[in-house]
Amino acid sequence: MQLKEQILNTFKTTFGKDPLIVYSPGRINLIGEHTDYNGGFVLPAAIDKKMIVAIAENQSEQGKIYSVDFEEEFAFDLSSFSPKPGHWATYIMGVVAQLQQAGYQVKGFDMVFGGDIPVGAGLSSSAALECATGYALSTLFDFQIPKTSLVHYAQKAEHTFAGVMCGIMDQFASVMGKKDHAIRLDCRSLDFEYFPIALGDYQLLLIDTKVKHSLADSAYNTRRKECEAGVLAAQKVNPEIQDLRDVSLELLAQLDLDANVRLRCKYIIEENQRVIDSCIALENGDLARFGQKVYESHFGLSNEFEVSCEELDFLVDLVKDKQAILGARMMGGGFGGCTINIVHKDEVSQVKKEVSQAYEEKFGRFPEFYLVSPEEGSGTL
């Protein structure tokens, strides 16, 4: 609990009183990539890396914040504030703005925050900060905001203040996570169900490429348009169709589509089914079958949806014949970030050693490794 102690001590030193301490975790997505904006299924889990917030009332009209990670103070007037593009305080102010718009009377507060979620690795450190802020303010001022509402406020903060039109998965996993479980989230209805992650002799190992290619944003927008083109074509045959999840592979084969659009749609339709198949495998404790679905997901992302990159493909190709690894795939939007790997506990250090060496030989730099396990969502420490 070094992080908690550091934040507590920093708060007492900075503001001279005892705070309330809450946390919200980062997240992984086990399978179900790019399905969220297609009204499909995702399978995220909260992880044991978190953002911690210490907070107390301050009898003023200001929010006064200190970031332990940036070693920087920031203050804003609760009656008049606006986004500060590129600044960490934007995420916090965005949440305050959402709560105010919803009618909650946010009073002056002092806050210190910090976390151990690697930034830029695709583990949703920004969503964790938004969710921790919302949970902290709700608890401090006894707003008793339902958890599902906190999820929406955090997502809207990202849209309106940070200017990122994210889906709802990151915030949902951060708030609603459950220890040793994944959440199958229906991104259309927001119905959700927990599925056990009983890994036994295996662990989840993230391997960070340490790259983010500039293609990411433009390719994301293009993929969305390609998926929408598939839906429009399908609606001409059946006007009841809302999203690609309503399209079967049989119907897809009949549609007059550009070759790229057909491939993108095929991936999404199959990925939705893979999420459902993965949940059955997890319920049955069939880790080998789950691992196979994870590999299939990467193949689809790389060859059909085409959002992988040389580094991600290299990491998956490197481990796919290793007996110690049941499954591996790129995780997140693509063009960089992490691969997620299901690795036998006894082989973790050997895998890290071999991957480090091979990656450094190929790309001239070392990857980062993070062992993660599924944990509880937002709570009080």
Active-site annotation holder among 170, 208, 243, 246? 170
- Residue 128 annotated as binding site: no
Q: Catalytic: 170?
A: yes
Residue type, 310: E
Determine if residue 310 is labeled as part of a ligand binding site.
no
Is 167 annotated to bind a ligand? Reply is: no
DSSP-based helix, strand, coil % in the chain, nearest 5: 45, 25, 30
Residue 213 annotated as lining a ligand binding site: no
Residue 287 labelled as part of a binding site? no
Q: Of how many residues is the chain composed?
A: 381
List C-alpha distances in Å: 85 to 74, 162, 343: 14, 7, 39
CA angle in degrees (0–180, nearest 5) for 126-132-133: 90
Distance of CA 286 to the CA centre of its chain: 25
User: Which strands, in side-by-side order, build the sheet including 368-372?
Assistant: 325-330, 336-344, 202-212, 368-372
159 marked as binding residue? no
State yes or no: 135 annotated in a binding site. Answer: no
230 is in an annotated binding site: no
Is 349 annotated among the ligand-binding residues?
A: no
Counts for the chain of helices (H) and strands (E), in that order: 11, 13
DSSP states along 204-264: EEEEEEEEE-THHHHHHHHHHHHHHHHHHHHHHH-TT--SGGG--HHHHHHS---HHHHHH
Residues 6 or more apart whose CB falls under 8 angstroms from that of 253 comprise none
In whole angstroms, give the CA distance from residue 281 to residue 283. 5
**Are 28 and 80 a contacting pair, CB within 8 Å?**
no
Tokens of 284: 């049955």
3 is in an annotated binding site: no
Scanning 68-192, the segments in alpha helix (DSSP H) are 89-101, 125-140, 147-157, 169-176
Which is nearest to 138 in space by CA: 162, 165, 102? 102
Which one-letter DSSP state was computed for residue 70? T
Using CA atoms, how far residue 66 sits from 13, 70, 73, 128, 280, in Å, is 11, 8, 4, 16, 45
Nearest alpha-carbon partner for 380 in 142, 168, 77, 116: 142
Find out whether 121 is annotated in a ligand binding site: yes
Alpha-carbon span 214 to 165, nearest angstrom = 18
Would you say 126 is a known binding-site residue? yes
Question: Annotated binding residues for Mg(2+), as ranges?
Answer: 126, 158
Question: Annotated binding residues for ATP, as ranges?
Answer: 67, 120-126
Q: Which residues are catalytic?
A: 170
Question: Annotated binding residues, as ranges?
Answer: 33-36, 67, 120-126, 158, 220
Question: Annotated binding residues for substrate, as ranges?
Answer: 33-36, 220
